[in-house]
Structure 1
Amino acid sequence: MEAWLAYLILGAVAGVLAGLLGIGGGLLIVPVLVWLYVHQGVDAAVITHLAIGTSLATIVPTAIASARAHHAHGAVRWDLVWRLAPGVVFGALAGATLAEFLSSDMLRRVFGVFEIALALYMLIGTRPAPQRPLPGVATLSAGGGVIGLVSSLLGIGGGTLTVPYLVWFNVAVRQAIGTASAVGLPIALAGAAGFMIHGWQAQGLPAWSAGYIHGPALAGIAIASFLTAPIGARLTHRLPVPLVRRLFALLLMGLGVKMLV
């Protein structure tokens, strides 16, 4: 019962963040699941892979709910979603395959370094980007490939990379966030499928697991995040997003350090 309550609370918070910042929630879900699995006595050799695969699976309903909410506000550039989709799907499958060649400890450290680097980027900020025209389909798809690979490898929804990538090409921030929410769906579907397939024969998985996807955690997080993602999407149009990003960056810094020690 305690585990279910933890999954529901984690999903609720991740859902709000997904809608608010255009992320899939994985930046929070992965480190918290790693911590929960350690305390549940899950085999250390599969903990990080299990947390990442489960995180990707939970992003599917979150992305759907968040994208619908942003679409209702006219904030999803579907033309960009279709251009990015082929690349992110290929990249997500490649990321799941690459993860299979890394140990659980190595994968955890890669995640921790990425999270700390991202936190510093969010805290320091960047100068406004100059006017840049949108590139062609090939360039967008190639960028999507990189986004999909990194996102799948780390179990995140892609918004962390998609938002700055689109803003770089002069897409409005709120449209970039809404579009990133929609792009998170193909990333999550392809990435979760890859982790399920690669983990199908893995030893030491907890009960009710399908490959590197843990059923109870998936159900609890997905239910809660699906309900709260629209709340975050509405808050995007009411709260000072830059302030929220900086507060979230401090949280990421702490989680990243925890993943390294």
Structure 2
Amino acid sequence: MPVEFFLFAGVGFLAQIVDGALGMAYGVVSSTVLLTFGVTPAVASASVHAAEMFTTAASAISHTSHRNVDWRLFWRLAPAGILGGVLGTYVLTSIDGAMLRPYVTAYLTVMGLYILYRAFRARRSVVDPHAAVVAPLGLVGGFVDAAGGGGWGPVVTTSLIGSGAAPRFVVGTVNTVEFFITTAVSAAFLVAIFSGHWAEADGIGGHIWSVAGLVVGGILAAPLAGFVVKKIPGQRLMLMVGLLVIALAGYQTWQLLK
């Protein structure tokens, strides 16, 4: 079995622990690592979303069974998030990967800074999570998640919790919606492959072991999220993730400039 399987199993394991504890960062961390290893933005996003179909399914089942899902919020987020994800996939597969790479790297740097900002930012007074702004938030979250290879959680989860919504139901609902967005994005990548729209589609075949590693590592880590929540404060975990993403994005920038 190739070494890259075990490497990305470790990446998937750590990324899923963080995602299960905070409700975000699996896609951002995994995509950043893939890009660091020279994978193109579209292939990185396709690989991460293929892996997330399995990890988000396990997460969605868990949250649903524990009644952590606010179904009113779910139906406001899901349609907009799916639409945004499909649009992001179309944009990503329409642009040459080499040209897009600096912009995706910059986006991931911004995501890292945003996570750090949310870690220090005090919560405001409670705002109704069913307000009209939720659908546009879902649209933006879905778009940047597909186009950047991650970002649904950092954009949507942090925005809703930062507005004062109950963390339990935000994390449960956002993670459950993410399964449907990931499935839609993966289907959109398949359509792009079979229709010939995606010129770089051949490159994804060389990353099967990376995807398998992300899946296995993520599934193994899923049951440990509760333990991590008890042992590591959420703010400290967000700081660690933000710094990791910024460091990896900085390394990518250095590679592009040298």
TM score, norm. by length of structure 1 = 0.84
The gaps in structure 1 that reach 5 residues or longer are: none
Q: Distance in 1 between matches of 2:175 and 2:33?
A: 21
Q: Which residue type is aligned with residue 126 of structure 1?
A: R
Structure with greater proportional helix content: 2
Match of 1:148 among 119, 142, 160: 142
Residue equivalent to 1:183: 177
Q: Distance in 2 between matches of 1:238 and 1:71?
A: 24
Residue equivalent to 1:205: 202
TM score, norm. by length of structure 2 = 0.85
Q: Distance in 2 between matches of 1:75 and 1:254?
A: 33
Q: Distance in 1 between matches of 2:56 and 2:115?
A: 22
Q: Distance in 1 between matches of 2:204 and 2:91?
A: 25
Alpha-carbon shift at residue 168 of structure 1 (Å): 4.3
Say if 1:203 and 1:117 are closer, same or farther in 2 by CA, change over 3 A. closer
The gaps in structure 2 that reach 5 residues or longer are: none
Residue equivalent to 1:34: 35
CA deviation profile, 1:127-172 (whole Å, cap 9, x unmatched) = 3222322344x54223211111111111226111111232244312
Q: Contact 1:151 / 1:187 at 8 angstroms: preserved in 2?
A: no
Q: Percent of aligned positions with the same letter in both sequences?
A: 25
Alpha-carbon shift at residue 57 of structure 1 (Å): 1.2
Q: Which residue type is aligned with residue 214 of structure 2?
A: I
Q: Distance in 2 between matches of 1:158 and 1:35?
A: 21
Residue equivalent to 1:132: 127
Q: Which residue type is aligned with residue 202 of structure 2?
A: L
Residue equivalent to 2:188: 194
Residue equivalent to 1:11: 12
Q: Distance in 1 between matches of 2:17 and 2:58?
A: 11
Q: Contact 2:72 / 2:130 at 8 angstroms: preserved in 1?
A: no
Q: Which residue type is aligned with residue 10 of structure 2?
A: I
Residue equivalent to 1:80: 73
Q: Which secondary structure state, in structure 2, belongs to the residue aligned with residue 5 of structure 1?
A: helix
Q: Contact 1:24 / 1:181 at 8 angstroms: preserved in 2?
A: no
Residue equivalent to 1:111: 104
The CA RMSD measured in Å over matched residues stands at 2.4
Q: Distance in 2 between matches of 1:238 and 1:77?
A: 27
Residue equivalent to 1:251: 244
Say if 1:126 and 1:157 are closer, same or farther in 2 by CA, change over 3 A. closer
CA deviation profile, 1:94-143 (whole Å, cap 9, x unmatched) = 0001112332134322222222222223334323222322344x542232
Q: Which residue type is aligned with residue 179 of structure 1?
A: T
Residue equivalent to 1:99: 92
Q: Contact 2:108 / 2:148 at 8 angstroms: preserved in 1?
A: no
Q: Contact 1:208 / 1:216 at 8 angstroms: preserved in 2?
A: no
